[in-house]
Amino acid sequence: CGRCLQCRTGNSHICKNTRIIGVDRDGAFAEYIAMPATNVLPLDGVPTTVGAIMDPMGNAFHAVLSAEIQGSSVFVVGCGPIGCFAVGIARAAGAAKVIASDVNAKRLSLARRMGAHVTINAATDDVVRTVLDETGGEGADLVCEMSGVPSALHQAFAAVRLGGRVQLLGIPKGEVPVDFASEIIFKGITVYGVIGRKMYETWHQMRRYLTTGLLDPRPVITHQFPLAKIDEALAAIRAGDAGKIILEIA
């Protein structure tokens, strides 16, 4: 809105008057939408397939780059598309070790293609034990929780090191009990809620990572369909194995 306290202090991603396109008003599946001019940015040579996924990728940039990454250990919980982007961004930004977990083997292989050094299958492996083993017993400097699954949220707090940082992006379906004393206070950690993108910092960072080749997010694009086959595209999403799906408009 440009006028509220948040907008005036450089935090327009948490503007109280925000109307999210696709949430508060019709979005990408509408026949026509009026896009606010401030939301339009030139692709500057970024391929349109990548341009099509820059919206969720911006959330991953916000989640990763609002923490200190260089030389750090990063644990990404949940390897959906945004989790996989976060893996690639953490690698590109200079993380020393990137660990990723999910319950889906296909998603874990995507995370490996995006640069994860270590992947953990949360359905079969001891997640917290593995993160501790991979970080010299300390836990990860930074944990990005991308799933919103209650068991994974607890793993995020258990796997972060004392004094570390947890970025919460995954949205739980309901209330999740938290032991504030042992999971947060006594560990001296910082918890950050990731909503939207930092306007416009995240956009410019993302565009530079893409145009300079620091980050190639294309492994996350697993399917492409013509618009007429949208039902097949939605079925692929529901099957749970897809990364990002591109609809081609001829």
* Interacting residues of 143 by C-beta distance below 8 A, sequence separation 6+: 74, 75, 76, 77, 156, 157, 159, 160, 164, 165, 166, 167
Q: How far is the CB of 85 from Zn ion (least distance, A)?
A: 27
The first and second tokens of residue 75, run together, are: 């644990």
**Nearest CB to Zn ion, comparing residues 15 and 128:** 15
**Nearest CB to Zn ion, comparing residues 3 and 173:** 3
Task: Please provide the distance, in angstroms rounded to a whole number, between the alpha carbons at the two ends of the chain.
Answer: 35
How does DSSP classify residue 53?
T
Q: How far is the CB of 161 from Zn ion (least distance, A)?
A: 36
Backbone φ and ψ for 135, nearest 5 degrees, come out as -120, 30
**Nearest CB to Zn ion, comparing residues 19 and 208:** 19
Q: Which residues pair with 96 in a beta bridge?
A: none
Q: How many C-alpha atoms does 44 have within 13 Å on its Cβ side?
A: 13
**Nearest CB to Zn ion, comparing residues 17 and 151:** 17
**For the chain, how long is the longest CA-to-CA vector?**
56
Measured in residues, the chain has a length of: 250
Spatial separation of the C-alpha atoms in residues 186 and 160, rounded to whole Å: 12
How does DSSP classify residue 124?
T
Q: How far is the CB of 12 from Zn ion (least distance, A)?
A: 6
Q: How far is the CB of 10 from Zn ion (least distance, A)?
A: 11
How does DSSP classify residue 219?
G
**Nearest CB to Zn ion, comparing residues 11 and 48:** 11
**Nearest CB to Zn ion, comparing residues 7 and 63:** 7
Q: How far is the CB of 237 from Zn ion (least distance, A)?
A: 32
* Strand-pair category, 160-168 with 140-145: parallel
Q: How far is the CB of 196 from Zn ion (least distance, A)?
A: 12
Residue nearest to Zn ion (CB): 15
Which residues contact Zn ion (rule: CB under 5 A)? Answer: 1, 4, 7, 15, 17
